[in-house]
Amino acid sequence: MSKLRPSVTGALTRRALKDHGPPVEVMPQGDRRMDVLASALVPLTRKEEFVREITTLWTRAQSTFLTIGQYLIMAKQKLPHGDYTIMVERELPFSPNTAFQIRTAAEAVSSGRLPAETLPPNYSTIYQLSTLPDHLLEEAKRSGLVRPDLRRAEIVAFKKKVREATERPVSPPGATAQRLAELRRQKAAIEEEIARLERVATQDVEGGEGAKR
């Protein structure tokens, strides 16, 4: 079995890390980073306090990825041709697909198409919303889907429902009436055939009894 060149192996390793994310970093007791993390935590005791702090951090996460998205938009506009592609494919800590989704979500928010205050703190969910055409986005708003606690599974299910409705065959005008008339003709023909067979059967019975006498 031939061995891969070191440069090829390195490229494959970088691609795998980009697709699957960096490995979890273990920080042993006494590590300065653990001390910083511990000192950043506020001692809480009541449920309401935990809800407030977690919600604040979760909302801050939205602001962070939207800021990243704005930088991606700026980079795409200002970098020389080809440099943006090289950057997102080789030099960022996430995949090109993630970069595309974050940038698209940020564009939808910065354009005002998706108001930030109505959105969940998750770039992939906002991306799913941003891909809706205007009339479906309005329908999603009327359905109560555009809200801060929206889950990605909900918008995916909404898209599936719309797709199935679109793919369902639509009968042309008058098709129902035509089909009903056809079935009625078939019914009349069947009833006529049943009546004919009943007459034949009656004649056969009567003829058989006459022959016996």
- pLDDT of 171 reads 59
Quickly tell me which residue has 């090289």 as its tokens.
Answer: 86
Residue from 62, 54, 201 nearest 127 by CA: 62
Quickly tell me which residue has 């990243």 as its tokens.
Answer: 68
- pLDDT of 4 reads 43
Rounded mean pLDDT, 119-137: 90
What is d(CA 111, CA 130) in angstroms, rounded to the nearest whole number?
Answer: 11
pLDDT band at residue 169 under the 50/70/90 scheme: low
Is 37 strand, coil or helix?
helix
- pLDDT of 27 reads 37
Q: How many CB atoms lie within 10 A of CB 75?
A: 16
- In sequence order, the 6+-apart residues with CB closer than 8 A to the CB of 65 are 102, 105, 106, 123
Residue 102, pLDDT above cutoff 90 = yes
What is d(CA 73, CA 102) in angstroms, rounded to the nearest whole number?
Answer: 10
- pLDDT of 129 reads 92
* Strands in 130-184 per DSSP E: none
> Quick one: tokens of 157?
């299910």
Rg (CA), the chain: 34
The one-letter code for the residue type at 38 is A
Q: Residue 90: in which H helix or E strand, if any?
A: none
Rounded mean pLDDT, 139-148: 90
Please answer whether residues 12 and 4 qualify as being in contact, where contact means their C-beta atoms are separated by less than 8 angstroms: yes
Quickly tell me which residue has 């809706």 as its tokens.
Answer: 132
The one-letter code for the residue type at 65 is F
pLDDT band at residue 202 under the 50/70/90 scheme: confident
Q: How many CB atoms lie within 10 A of CB 85?
A: 12
- pLDDT of 183 reads 86
